[in-house]
Amino acid sequence: MSGPRAIRLLVVAPDPATREGLRERLERQGYAVDGAPGLEEALAAFRADPADVVLLDPGADARGAAAFMDTVHREVPGTSVIVLSASGDLDEALAAFRAGACDFVTMPVEHPEVLEKNIRNCLERRALAQEVDAAESRYFQLIQNLPIVIFALDRDFCLEFINRTCEAVLGFEPAEAVGTPGWFLERIPEPQRDAVRAAFAQCRAGDAPPQDIEFDFEHAKGYLVRLAARPMPCNDVHLPERWRRVEGILMDVTRRAYLDRVMVQREKLNALGALSAELAHEMRNPLVSLGGFARRLAERHPDLPEAAIILEEAKRLEGVLDKIRNYLRPVPTRAEEVHVNAVLTFCQSLTAPRFEREGLRTDVHADPRVAPLVSDQGVLTQVFVSLFNAIRERMRPGDVLEVATGEDARNVEVSFRVHGSDLTVEDPELLFLPFDEDGDRLNLALPYRLVQSVGGLISYDEGQRRSGGVPGFSVHLPKDRCPI
Protein backbone atom coordinates (compact mmCIF):
# COMPACT_ATOMS: atom_id res chain seq x y z
CA MET A 1 0.00 0.00 0.00
CA SER A 2 1.51 3.35 -1.07
CA GLY A 3 2.00 6.17 1.44
CA PRO A 4 0.88 9.79 1.20
CA ARG A 5 1.79 11.61 -2.00
CA ALA A 6 4.93 13.71 -1.62
CA ILE A 7 4.66 17.46 -2.11
CA ARG A 8 5.84 18.23 -5.65
CA LEU A 9 8.01 21.28 -6.29
CA LEU A 10 9.17 22.74 -9.61
CA VAL A 11 12.35 24.87 -9.53
CA VAL A 12 12.67 27.20 -12.52
CA ALA A 13 16.09 28.91 -12.70
CA PRO A 14 18.36 29.63 -15.67
CA ASP A 15 21.50 29.20 -13.52
CA PRO A 16 22.29 25.46 -13.24
CA ALA A 17 24.12 25.87 -9.92
CA THR A 18 21.15 27.63 -8.33
CA ARG A 19 18.70 25.13 -9.80
CA GLU A 20 20.59 22.02 -8.71
CA GLY A 21 21.50 23.47 -5.33
CA LEU A 22 17.87 24.16 -4.49
CA ARG A 23 16.85 20.75 -5.85
CA GLU A 24 19.29 18.83 -3.69
CA ARG A 25 18.47 20.86 -0.59
CA LEU A 26 14.69 20.46 -0.97
CA GLU A 27 14.89 16.74 -1.80
CA ARG A 28 16.75 16.20 1.48
CA GLN A 29 13.75 17.79 3.20
CA GLY A 30 11.39 15.17 1.69
CA TYR A 31 9.98 17.02 -1.32
CA ALA A 32 9.72 15.63 -4.86
CA VAL A 33 11.56 18.19 -6.99
CA ASP A 34 11.74 18.78 -10.75
CA GLY A 35 13.91 21.41 -12.42
CA ALA A 36 13.65 23.50 -15.58
CA PRO A 37 16.08 26.07 -17.01
CA GLY A 38 13.50 28.24 -18.78
CA LEU A 39 9.86 29.17 -18.90
CA GLU A 40 8.99 26.97 -21.91
CA GLU A 41 10.58 23.89 -20.33
CA ALA A 42 8.93 24.72 -17.02
CA LEU A 43 5.47 24.97 -18.62
CA ALA A 44 5.95 21.61 -20.37
CA ALA A 45 7.05 19.96 -17.12
CA PHE A 46 4.16 21.52 -15.23
CA ARG A 47 1.62 20.28 -17.75
CA ALA A 48 3.11 16.79 -17.65
CA ASP A 49 2.99 16.62 -13.84
CA PRO A 50 1.58 19.72 -12.10
CA ALA A 51 3.58 20.87 -9.10
CA ASP A 52 2.10 22.03 -5.80
CA VAL A 53 4.59 24.90 -5.52
CA VAL A 54 6.68 26.54 -8.27
CA LEU A 55 9.90 28.32 -7.28
CA LEU A 56 10.44 30.77 -10.14
CA ASP A 57 13.55 32.80 -10.91
CA PRO A 58 12.36 35.05 -13.76
CA GLY A 59 15.86 36.26 -14.63
CA ALA A 60 15.55 39.12 -17.09
CA ASP A 61 12.18 37.99 -18.52
CA ALA A 62 9.76 39.64 -16.05
CA ARG A 63 6.96 39.87 -18.66
CA GLY A 64 7.34 36.20 -19.61
CA ALA A 65 7.30 35.24 -15.92
CA ALA A 66 4.00 37.09 -15.42
CA ALA A 67 2.46 35.26 -18.43
CA PHE A 68 3.80 31.94 -17.09
CA MET A 69 2.14 32.55 -13.69
CA ASP A 70 -1.12 33.50 -15.38
CA THR A 71 -1.10 30.25 -17.40
CA VAL A 72 -0.29 28.12 -14.33
CA HIS A 73 -3.08 29.68 -12.26
CA ARG A 74 -5.58 29.37 -15.10
CA GLU A 75 -4.81 25.69 -15.82
CA VAL A 76 -4.42 24.55 -12.20
CA PRO A 77 -6.12 27.03 -9.84
CA GLY A 78 -4.58 27.13 -6.40
CA THR A 79 -1.00 26.48 -7.50
CA SER A 80 1.44 28.51 -5.38
CA VAL A 81 4.32 30.40 -7.03
CA ILE A 82 7.28 31.74 -5.04
CA VAL A 83 9.34 34.28 -6.99
CA LEU A 84 13.10 34.13 -6.44
CA SER A 85 15.07 37.33 -7.08
CA ALA A 86 18.70 38.24 -6.72
CA SER A 87 17.98 41.97 -6.57
CA GLY A 88 15.26 42.15 -3.91
CA ASP A 89 13.92 45.27 -5.62
CA LEU A 90 10.64 46.58 -4.14
CA ASP A 91 9.10 47.34 -7.54
CA GLU A 92 9.97 43.83 -8.70
CA ALA A 93 8.33 42.36 -5.58
CA LEU A 94 5.15 44.40 -6.10
CA ALA A 95 4.98 43.34 -9.75
CA ALA A 96 5.36 39.70 -8.69
CA PHE A 97 2.50 39.92 -6.19
CA ARG A 98 0.30 41.68 -8.73
CA ALA A 99 0.96 38.82 -11.16
CA GLY A 100 -0.26 36.31 -8.53
CA ALA A 101 2.88 35.27 -6.65
CA CYS A 102 2.33 33.71 -3.26
CA ASP A 103 5.67 34.90 -1.85
CA PHE A 104 8.86 36.75 -2.81
CA VAL A 105 12.29 35.50 -1.68
CA THR A 106 15.67 37.21 -2.13
CA MET A 107 18.47 35.01 -3.40
CA PRO A 108 20.78 33.57 -2.34
CA VAL A 109 18.95 31.88 0.53
CA GLU A 110 21.44 31.80 3.40
CA HIS A 111 19.16 29.91 5.80
CA PRO A 112 17.40 26.88 4.23
CA GLU A 113 14.79 26.78 6.96
CA VAL A 114 13.52 30.22 5.81
CA LEU A 115 12.73 28.92 2.32
CA GLU A 116 11.13 25.77 3.76
CA LYS A 117 8.97 27.98 5.99
CA ASN A 118 7.91 30.01 2.94
CA ILE A 119 6.92 26.80 1.14
CA ARG A 120 4.91 25.58 4.16
CA ASN A 121 3.16 28.94 4.43
CA CYS A 122 2.13 28.78 0.76
CA LEU A 123 0.82 25.23 1.21
CA GLU A 124 -1.13 26.22 4.32
CA ARG A 125 -2.65 29.21 2.55
CA ARG A 126 -3.65 26.96 -0.36
CA ALA A 127 -5.21 24.41 2.03
CA LEU A 128 -7.08 27.20 3.82
CA ALA A 129 -8.33 28.61 0.51
CA GLN A 130 -9.54 25.13 -0.49
CA GLU A 131 -11.39 24.78 2.82
CA VAL A 132 -13.02 28.18 2.32
CA ASP A 133 -14.03 27.24 -1.24
CA ALA A 134 -15.48 23.94 0.00
CA ALA A 135 -17.38 25.70 2.79
CA GLU A 136 -18.76 28.27 0.34
CA SER A 137 -19.79 25.47 -2.00
CA ARG A 138 -21.56 23.61 0.81
CA TYR A 139 -23.27 26.82 1.93
CA PHE A 140 -24.35 27.58 -1.64
CA GLN A 141 -25.74 24.07 -2.09
CA LEU A 142 -27.54 24.32 1.23
CA ILE A 143 -29.15 27.63 0.22
CA GLN A 144 -30.10 26.23 -3.17
CA ASN A 145 -31.76 23.12 -1.75
CA LEU A 146 -33.62 24.50 1.26
CA PRO A 147 -37.37 23.79 1.11
CA ILE A 148 -38.10 27.52 1.31
CA VAL A 149 -37.42 30.29 -1.19
CA ILE A 150 -34.39 32.49 -0.39
CA PHE A 151 -34.28 35.82 -2.20
CA ALA A 152 -32.50 39.18 -2.40
CA LEU A 153 -34.11 42.35 -3.81
CA ASP A 154 -32.34 45.56 -4.79
CA ARG A 155 -33.74 49.05 -4.16
CA ASP A 156 -35.86 48.83 -7.35
CA PHE A 157 -37.41 45.53 -6.20
CA CYS A 158 -35.48 43.66 -8.87
CA LEU A 159 -34.30 40.19 -7.85
CA GLU A 160 -30.55 39.89 -7.41
CA PHE A 161 -30.75 36.28 -6.23
CA ILE A 162 -33.32 33.52 -5.76
CA ASN A 163 -32.60 29.86 -5.04
CA ARG A 164 -33.72 26.81 -7.02
CA THR A 165 -36.74 26.24 -4.75
CA CYS A 166 -38.32 29.07 -6.75
CA GLU A 167 -39.14 26.53 -9.45
CA ALA A 168 -40.90 24.13 -7.05
CA VAL A 169 -42.91 26.85 -5.25
CA LEU A 170 -43.52 29.48 -7.95
CA GLY A 171 -43.00 27.51 -11.16
CA PHE A 172 -40.20 29.74 -12.49
CA GLU A 173 -36.54 28.89 -13.00
CA PRO A 174 -34.15 31.30 -11.21
CA ALA A 175 -32.76 32.50 -14.54
CA GLU A 176 -36.24 33.69 -15.55
CA ALA A 177 -36.59 35.79 -12.40
CA VAL A 178 -33.15 37.18 -11.55
CA GLY A 179 -32.43 40.53 -13.15
CA THR A 180 -35.84 40.84 -14.86
CA PRO A 181 -37.25 44.32 -14.04
CA GLY A 182 -40.66 44.22 -12.37
CA TRP A 183 -40.81 40.41 -12.21
CA PHE A 184 -41.49 40.27 -8.47
CA LEU A 185 -44.02 43.07 -7.91
CA GLU A 186 -45.94 42.56 -11.14
CA ARG A 187 -46.99 39.08 -10.05
CA ILE A 188 -48.55 40.35 -6.83
CA PRO A 189 -52.24 41.31 -7.24
CA GLU A 190 -52.62 45.07 -7.55
CA PRO A 191 -54.73 45.57 -4.36
CA GLN A 192 -51.87 44.03 -2.31
CA ARG A 193 -48.92 45.44 -4.24
CA ASP A 194 -48.57 48.80 -2.50
CA ALA A 195 -48.64 47.19 0.97
CA VAL A 196 -45.88 44.72 -0.01
CA ARG A 197 -43.79 47.50 -1.57
CA ALA A 198 -44.15 49.66 1.54
CA ALA A 199 -43.24 46.79 3.90
CA PHE A 200 -40.11 45.91 1.94
CA ALA A 201 -39.05 49.54 1.58
CA GLN A 202 -39.45 50.11 5.32
CA CYS A 203 -37.39 47.00 6.01
CA ARG A 204 -34.60 48.11 3.64
CA ALA A 205 -34.44 51.55 5.27
CA GLY A 206 -34.21 49.99 8.72
CA ASP A 207 -36.92 52.27 10.10
CA ALA A 208 -38.63 49.44 12.02
CA PRO A 209 -38.01 45.80 12.99
CA PRO A 210 -38.71 43.35 10.16
CA GLN A 211 -42.36 42.30 9.97
CA ASP A 212 -43.76 39.17 8.37
CA ILE A 213 -46.20 39.86 5.57
CA GLU A 214 -48.55 37.58 3.64
CA PHE A 215 -49.68 38.14 0.07
CA ASP A 216 -50.84 36.33 -3.06
CA PHE A 217 -48.46 35.64 -5.93
CA GLU A 218 -49.17 34.53 -9.49
CA HIS A 219 -47.69 31.09 -10.18
CA ALA A 220 -46.11 30.37 -13.56
CA LYS A 221 -49.21 28.32 -14.42
CA GLY A 222 -51.48 31.28 -13.77
CA TYR A 223 -53.07 30.45 -10.42
CA LEU A 224 -52.43 32.29 -7.15
CA VAL A 225 -50.33 30.90 -4.32
CA ARG A 226 -50.30 32.39 -0.84
CA LEU A 227 -46.83 33.40 0.35
CA ALA A 228 -45.55 34.42 3.77
CA ALA A 229 -42.47 36.66 3.48
CA ARG A 230 -39.95 37.41 6.18
CA PRO A 231 -37.77 40.26 4.85
CA MET A 232 -34.47 41.19 6.47
CA PRO A 233 -32.43 44.32 5.71
CA CYS A 234 -28.82 44.16 4.57
CA ASN A 235 -26.61 43.86 7.68
CA ASP A 236 -24.37 46.80 6.76
CA VAL A 237 -26.56 49.77 7.73
CA HIS A 238 -23.63 52.11 7.03
CA LEU A 239 -24.00 51.62 3.29
CA PRO A 240 -25.74 54.41 1.38
CA GLU A 241 -29.46 53.80 1.06
CA ARG A 242 -29.20 53.34 -2.72
CA TRP A 243 -26.88 50.34 -2.21
CA ARG A 244 -28.93 48.60 0.45
CA ARG A 245 -30.99 45.58 -0.40
CA VAL A 246 -33.55 43.33 1.22
CA GLU A 247 -32.89 39.64 1.78
CA GLY A 248 -35.36 37.15 3.14
CA ILE A 249 -37.38 33.99 2.79
CA LEU A 250 -40.68 33.11 1.15
CA MET A 251 -42.84 30.26 2.47
CA ASP A 252 -45.74 28.69 0.63
CA VAL A 253 -48.69 28.89 3.04
CA THR A 254 -51.38 28.21 0.46
CA ARG A 255 -52.50 25.04 2.21
CA ARG A 256 -52.55 26.72 5.61
CA ALA A 257 -54.59 29.64 4.26
CA TYR A 258 -57.02 27.15 2.74
CA LEU A 259 -57.31 25.29 6.03
CA ASP A 260 -57.95 28.60 7.81
CA ARG A 261 -60.87 29.29 5.48
CA VAL A 262 -62.18 25.75 5.92
CA MET A 263 -62.06 26.10 9.70
CA VAL A 264 -63.91 29.42 9.58
CA GLN A 265 -66.56 27.87 7.39
CA ARG A 266 -66.81 24.84 9.64
CA GLU A 267 -67.17 27.09 12.67
CA LYS A 268 -70.05 28.93 11.03
CA LEU A 269 -71.72 25.68 9.99
CA ASN A 270 -71.43 24.25 13.48
CA ALA A 271 -72.96 27.36 15.00
CA LEU A 272 -75.76 27.11 12.45
CA GLY A 273 -76.18 23.45 13.38
CA ALA A 274 -76.54 24.28 17.06
CA LEU A 275 -79.16 26.89 16.21
CA SER A 276 -80.99 24.36 14.05
CA ALA A 277 -80.94 21.85 16.89
CA GLU A 278 -82.58 24.36 19.21
CA LEU A 279 -85.22 25.18 16.61
CA ALA A 280 -85.89 21.50 15.94
CA HIS A 281 -86.33 20.86 19.65
CA GLU A 282 -88.72 23.80 20.08
CA MET A 283 -90.76 23.00 16.98
CA ARG A 284 -91.17 19.23 17.28
CA ASN A 285 -93.76 19.16 20.09
CA PRO A 286 -96.07 21.80 18.50
CA LEU A 287 -95.76 20.00 15.15
CA VAL A 288 -96.68 16.64 16.66
CA SER A 289 -99.72 18.22 18.32
CA LEU A 290 -100.67 20.04 15.14
CA GLY A 291 -100.34 16.88 13.06
CA GLY A 292 -102.45 14.87 15.48
CA PHE A 293 -105.16 17.55 15.51
CA ALA A 294 -105.17 17.65 11.71
CA ARG A 295 -105.59 13.87 11.45
CA ARG A 296 -108.50 13.83 13.90
CA LEU A 297 -110.06 16.78 12.07
CA ALA A 298 -109.76 14.96 8.73
CA GLU A 299 -111.33 11.83 10.20
CA ARG A 300 -114.36 13.78 11.50
CA HIS A 301 -114.70 16.02 8.43
CA PRO A 302 -113.32 14.12 5.44
CA ASP A 303 -114.76 16.71 3.05
CA LEU A 304 -112.95 19.62 4.75
CA PRO A 305 -110.01 20.64 2.44
CA GLU A 306 -108.31 22.79 5.13
CA ALA A 307 -107.68 19.69 7.27
CA ALA A 308 -105.81 18.00 4.41
CA ILE A 309 -103.68 21.09 3.87
CA ILE A 310 -102.78 21.33 7.57
CA LEU A 311 -101.87 17.64 7.66
CA GLU A 312 -99.74 17.92 4.51
CA GLU A 313 -97.80 20.94 5.81
CA ALA A 314 -97.26 19.27 9.20
CA LYS A 315 -95.76 16.24 7.47
CA ARG A 316 -93.53 18.52 5.38
CA LEU A 317 -92.21 20.30 8.47
CA GLU A 318 -91.63 16.98 10.22
CA GLY A 319 -89.56 15.94 7.20
CA VAL A 320 -87.51 19.13 7.51
CA LEU A 321 -86.89 18.39 11.18
CA ASP A 322 -85.78 14.85 10.31
CA LYS A 323 -83.25 16.32 7.86
CA ILE A 324 -81.96 18.68 10.56
CA ARG A 325 -81.63 15.80 13.04
CA ASN A 326 -79.65 13.76 10.52
CA TYR A 327 -77.44 16.79 9.78
CA LEU A 328 -76.66 17.21 13.49
CA ARG A 329 -75.50 13.66 14.02
CA PRO A 330 -71.93 13.66 15.46
CA VAL A 331 -69.09 13.42 12.96
CA PRO A 332 -67.23 10.13 13.52
CA THR A 333 -63.98 10.61 15.44
CA ARG A 334 -61.06 8.29 16.00
CA ALA A 335 -58.96 7.39 19.02
CA GLU A 336 -55.24 7.96 18.57
CA GLU A 337 -52.22 8.93 20.61
CA VAL A 338 -52.04 12.74 20.75
CA HIS A 339 -49.19 14.93 22.02
CA VAL A 340 -51.02 18.00 23.29
CA ASN A 341 -47.88 20.16 23.39
CA ALA A 342 -47.15 19.46 19.71
CA VAL A 343 -50.75 20.17 18.67
CA LEU A 344 -50.77 23.42 20.67
CA THR A 345 -47.47 24.57 19.14
CA PHE A 346 -48.81 23.81 15.65
CA CYS A 347 -51.98 25.81 16.33
CA GLN A 348 -49.91 28.74 17.60
CA SER A 349 -47.90 28.71 14.34
CA LEU A 350 -51.12 28.75 12.32
CA THR A 351 -52.57 31.74 14.15
CA ALA A 352 -49.34 33.68 14.86
CA PRO A 353 -49.32 35.79 11.63
CA ARG A 354 -52.76 37.23 12.39
CA PHE A 355 -51.75 38.01 16.00
CA GLU A 356 -48.58 39.76 14.81
CA ARG A 357 -50.43 41.82 12.20
CA GLU A 358 -52.77 43.09 14.92
CA GLY A 359 -49.95 43.96 17.34
CA LEU A 360 -50.63 41.01 19.64
CA ARG A 361 -48.39 38.29 21.05
CA THR A 362 -48.82 34.67 22.11
CA ASP A 363 -46.59 32.93 24.64
CA VAL A 364 -46.90 29.15 24.86
CA HIS A 365 -45.46 27.46 27.95
CA ALA A 366 -45.59 23.74 27.17
CA ASP A 367 -44.77 21.54 30.15
CA PRO A 368 -42.47 18.77 28.79
CA ARG A 369 -43.77 16.41 31.49
CA VAL A 370 -47.24 16.30 29.92
CA ALA A 371 -47.73 12.75 28.68
CA PRO A 372 -49.54 11.77 25.46
CA LEU A 373 -53.24 11.03 25.77
CA VAL A 374 -55.82 9.14 23.72
CA SER A 375 -58.00 11.58 21.82
CA ASP A 376 -58.68 12.89 18.31
CA GLN A 377 -55.87 15.13 17.01
CA GLY A 378 -58.04 16.79 14.35
CA VAL A 379 -60.73 17.70 16.89
CA LEU A 380 -58.19 19.15 19.33
CA THR A 381 -56.61 21.18 16.52
CA GLN A 382 -60.00 22.75 15.75
CA VAL A 383 -60.59 23.41 19.47
CA PHE A 384 -57.30 25.23 20.02
CA VAL A 385 -57.45 27.23 16.76
CA SER A 386 -61.02 28.31 17.60
CA LEU A 387 -59.93 29.43 21.07
CA PHE A 388 -56.93 31.36 19.71
CA ASN A 389 -59.14 33.15 17.17
CA ALA A 390 -62.06 33.81 19.54
CA ILE A 391 -59.84 35.30 22.24
CA ARG A 392 -57.85 37.32 19.68
CA GLU A 393 -61.02 39.16 18.65
CA ARG A 394 -61.36 40.55 22.18
CA MET A 395 -57.71 41.63 22.59
CA ARG A 396 -56.16 45.07 22.04
CA PRO A 397 -52.75 45.93 20.54
CA GLY A 398 -50.00 45.17 23.05
CA ASP A 399 -51.93 42.38 24.80
CA VAL A 400 -50.29 39.02 25.43
CA LEU A 401 -52.14 35.70 25.30
CA GLU A 402 -50.42 33.25 27.62
CA VAL A 403 -51.14 29.57 26.97
CA ALA A 404 -49.82 26.88 29.32
CA THR A 405 -50.13 23.12 29.59
CA GLY A 406 -50.14 21.00 32.74
CA GLU A 407 -51.55 17.76 34.08
CA ASP A 408 -52.87 16.06 37.18
CA ALA A 409 -53.59 12.40 37.87
CA ARG A 410 -56.59 12.24 35.52
CA ASN A 411 -56.54 15.20 33.13
CA VAL A 412 -54.37 17.30 30.89
CA GLU A 413 -55.19 21.00 31.27
CA VAL A 414 -54.55 23.78 28.76
CA SER A 415 -55.11 27.30 30.11
CA PHE A 416 -55.63 30.51 28.11
CA ARG A 417 -55.10 33.88 29.87
CA VAL A 418 -54.81 37.40 28.48
CA HIS A 419 -52.43 39.93 30.03
CA GLY A 420 -53.67 43.41 29.20
CA SER A 421 -57.35 43.53 28.32
CA ASP A 422 -59.88 42.53 30.98
CA LEU A 423 -61.73 39.44 29.79
CA THR A 424 -64.02 39.30 32.80
CA VAL A 425 -67.26 37.48 31.95
CA GLU A 426 -70.35 38.31 33.98
CA ASP A 427 -72.41 35.33 32.82
CA PRO A 428 -70.07 32.47 31.80
CA GLU A 429 -72.95 30.22 30.76
CA LEU A 430 -73.65 32.48 27.77
CA LEU A 431 -70.15 31.80 26.44
CA PHE A 432 -71.08 28.34 25.28
CA LEU A 433 -74.39 29.13 23.58
CA PRO A 434 -74.50 29.79 19.83
CA PHE A 435 -76.83 32.79 20.22
CA ASP A 436 -74.87 36.03 20.15
CA GLU A 437 -77.26 38.72 19.09
CA ASP A 438 -75.09 41.77 19.68
CA GLY A 439 -71.72 40.17 18.76
CA ASP A 440 -69.83 41.98 21.55
CA ARG A 441 -68.94 38.98 23.69
CA LEU A 442 -66.82 35.87 23.38
CA ASN A 443 -68.56 32.92 21.82
CA LEU A 444 -67.06 29.51 22.52
CA ALA A 445 -69.94 27.38 21.27
CA LEU A 446 -67.87 25.54 18.66
CA PRO A 447 -64.86 24.60 20.82
CA TYR A 448 -67.21 23.71 23.69
CA ARG A 449 -69.14 21.29 21.49
CA LEU A 450 -65.97 19.77 20.02
CA VAL A 451 -64.32 19.27 23.40
CA GLN A 452 -67.43 17.51 24.66
CA SER A 453 -67.22 15.10 21.72
CA VAL A 454 -63.86 13.81 23.04
CA GLY A 455 -64.94 13.61 26.66
CA GLY A 456 -63.48 16.93 27.83
CA LEU A 457 -64.80 20.29 28.87
CA ILE A 458 -64.03 24.02 28.78
CA SER A 459 -64.38 26.10 31.92
CA TYR A 460 -64.16 29.77 32.79
CA ASP A 461 -61.74 30.36 35.67
CA GLU A 462 -63.82 32.67 37.89
CA GLY A 463 -61.78 31.90 41.02
CA GLN A 464 -58.67 33.50 39.55
CA ARG A 465 -60.53 36.78 38.95
CA ARG A 466 -61.86 36.90 42.51
CA SER A 467 -58.39 36.30 43.94
CA GLY A 468 -56.99 39.25 42.00
CA GLY A 469 -55.38 37.09 39.32
CA VAL A 470 -55.94 36.98 35.58
CA PRO A 471 -59.26 35.53 34.35
CA GLY A 472 -59.07 32.87 31.72
CA PHE A 473 -60.33 29.63 30.23
CA SER A 474 -59.17 26.07 30.73
CA VAL A 475 -59.57 23.04 28.51
CA HIS A 476 -59.69 19.77 30.47
CA LEU A 477 -58.94 16.56 28.59
CA PRO A 478 -59.12 13.07 30.13
CA LYS A 479 -55.82 11.18 30.14
CA ASP A 480 -56.81 7.58 30.66
CA ARG A 481 -59.77 7.04 28.36
CA CYS A 482 -61.55 9.03 25.68
CA PRO A 483 -65.17 8.19 24.92
CA ILE A 484 -64.97 8.52 21.13
Q: Indicate whether 322 pLDDT > 70.
A: no
pLDDT at 360: 93
Q: Indicate whether 236 pLDDT > 70.
A: no
pLDDT at 275: 65
Q: Of 86-90, 272-276, 415-419, where does the model show the most confidence?
A: 415-419
pLDDT digits (tens, 9 = 90+) for 150-171: 998 888 888 889 999 988 889 8
Question: Among candidates 91, 90, 62, 68, which has minimal Cα distance to 81?
Answer: 68
Q: Indicate whether 316 pLDDT > 60.
A: yes
Give percent of the chain above pLDDT 90.
13
Integer Cα distance of 315 and 303 in angstroms:
20
pLDDT at 466: 36
Q: Indicate whether 379 pLDDT > 60.
A: yes
Torsion sign (Cα): 363, 367, 368, 373: negative
Higher pLDDT, 254 or 84: 84
Q: Indicate whether 287 pLDDT > 90.
A: no
Tell me the mean pLDDT in the region 348-355: 91
Tell me the mean pLDDT in the region 246-254: 86
Integer Cα distance of 5 and 464 in angstroms:
77
Q: Indicate whether 413 pLDDT > 70.
A: yes
pLDDT at 227: 92
Question: Among candidates 347, 356, 421, 414, which has minimal Cα distance to 386?
Answer: 347
Integer Cα distance of 471 and 474 in angstroms:
10
pTM for this entry: 0.45
Burial 296-326 (b: 16+ CB within 10 A, else e): ebbeeeeeeeebeebbeebeebeeebeebee
Average pLDDT, the chain: 79
pLDDT at 467: 35
pLDDT at 127: 87
Per-residue pLDDT band for 484 (boundaries 50, 70, 90) equals very low
Residue 480 burial by Cβ neighbours in a 10 Å radius (0-12, 13-18, 19+) = exposed
Tell me the mean pLDDT in the region 439-444: 63
Integer Cα distance of 431 and 448 in angstroms:
9
Higher pLDDT, 235 or 16: 16
pLDDT digits (tens, 9 = 90+) for 254-280: 767 645 654 554 565 566 566 666 666
Integer Cα distance of 14 and 213 in angstroms:
69
pLDDT digits (tens, 9 = 90+) for 178-228: 988 989 999 998 888 999 988 888 887 776 677 788 998 988 877 678 899
Provide the 10 A C-beta neighbour count for residue 187.
18
Give percent of the chain above pLDDT 70.
79
pLDDT at 3: 45
Higher pLDDT, 243 or 186: 186
pLDDT at 141: 84
Could you tell me the CA-to-CA distances from 347 to 19, 229, 244 in Å, in that order?
75, 19, 36
H-type alpha helices, 241-339:
254-300, 305-327
* Position 320, amino acid: V
Per-residue pLDDT band for 435 (boundaries 50, 70, 90) equals very low
φ/ψ of 270, rounded to 5, equals: -70, -40
Q: Indicate whether 391 pLDDT > 70.
A: yes
Which residues have C-beta within 8 Å of that of residue 107, sequence separation ≥ 6? 18, 57, 84, 85, 86
Tell me the mean pLDDT in the region 402-431: 80
Integer Cα distance of 36 and 401 in angstroms:
78
pLDDT at 388: 93
Tell me the mean pLDDT in the region 380-398: 90
Per-residue pLDDT band for 451 (boundaries 50, 70, 90) equals confident
